[in-house]
Homo-oligomer: A and B are copies of this chain.
């Protein structure tokens, strides 16, 4: 019985597990910090109150329950002893014959990690809910504010980073303020909210071709988004941001400017690239430990032209499928072929009915690109119930301009945080947002 241990239930780990499902003579253990698989491409919709967390996350157990040889555990991997072939986790030690590391990526601040408190990134459901809380609260605070300067600070939203995530966030935020919330307030005009997208390079969407990026910029401006290029953020705090001498007061800052691979398990001594991705062999294994594979955002591999593969779902899925095929082949004694990425192109959506899409020679923008984006995303959404709900919610949002998940949920759940009987907010002053 071959023991296969998979760390991480993202696109790479989940696809690999599925590919190994019901494989004879193989016992698969999948360990993840969460109990669900997250459909990250739609995370920005949760942050912008368009979807509920449960609509883009499916319990790993329900996806994999039909495979008898797969065990799922919720825990965190800490270290690996490659010579003994043992991984230590928060829920015990696990030995393996084959190990797949697919722990994904984090947002990165490149040495300014203390900015996180005032400029959250968007990689987890918790972060998406936190951003949603900040954005909706900013409008609520502006409504109650009488000082015009403070009011304008609450109505200024900064998104740092002009890649696909920043563009999708900015578009959704522009739409939220210009359409969804337009009628809801009495003291403020939400359509006057400023949404500013800041990019340090000369243009947004640097990975797209120039004409397509220009169309995206125009679509964003159509939603009222200001695009500031060639600006580098030098300071973030709770009053706003600084770009050199320039100061921009803002209550809400969202960080979409950097990504880096999840930290590798301690005990492995391997080379990584500038973003912390493990430099793997062409078959995704480690040179000194051919039984250890790295896949998804954590793996650093280049295409035939020498460009690093992008950190997107299709790469991770293809690597997961490839690993399942390779491991099945190994068991049958077949030699493995190197991994080859079949380019699925790239796309970014802008608001309710526009997108940009590039797939080889095919370059689309506007409504056709958006329509394709919808089809592709729903096709990939795992779990029938989720697919159905997302379609329905989108249809209803599209027709009504409303958003279904506009809740400001607090972080603290306790009514009696100090253990005494005084409810919060009255004679004692509790911090409602967690201690």
Residues of A near any B CB (own CB < 8 A): 33-36, 52-55, 57, 59, 61-62, 65, 71-76, 78, 90-92, 106-107, 109, 111, 113-114, 116-117, 120-121, 123-127, 129-130, 136-137, 140-141, 143-144, 146, 181, 183-187, 262-263, 265-266, 385-386, 388-389, 392-393, 396, 400, 402, 404-416, 419-423, 425-427, 432, 434
Contacts and interface: CB of A to CB of B under 8 A. Distances in A.
Contacts of A117: 414, 419
A52 to B, nearest CB: 4
Given A52-B405, A53-B409, A106-B423, 14 more contacts: A53-B407, A71-B187, A72-B143, A72-B186, A73-B143, A74-B140, A74-B141, A76-B425, A91-B141, A116-B419, A126-B413, A127-B415, A130-B413, A389-B389
B408 A114 contact: no
Given A36-B408, A263-B422, A407-B35, A120 B71 contact: no
Given A404-B385, A413-B120, A423 B262 contact: yes
Contacts of A91: 141, 144
B434 A411 contact: yes
Nearest to A54: B405
A223 to B, nearest CB: 21
A406 B75 contact: no
A65 B405 CA distance: 17
A109 B36 CA distance: 34
Contacts of A425: 33, 76, 78, 90
A185 B73 CA distance: 9
6 contacts: A54-B407, A117-B414, A263-B422, A385-B396, A385-B402, A388-B396
Given A92-B146, A144-B92, A413-B130, A389 B392 contact: yes
A423 B59 CA distance: 24
A54 B107 CA distance: 27
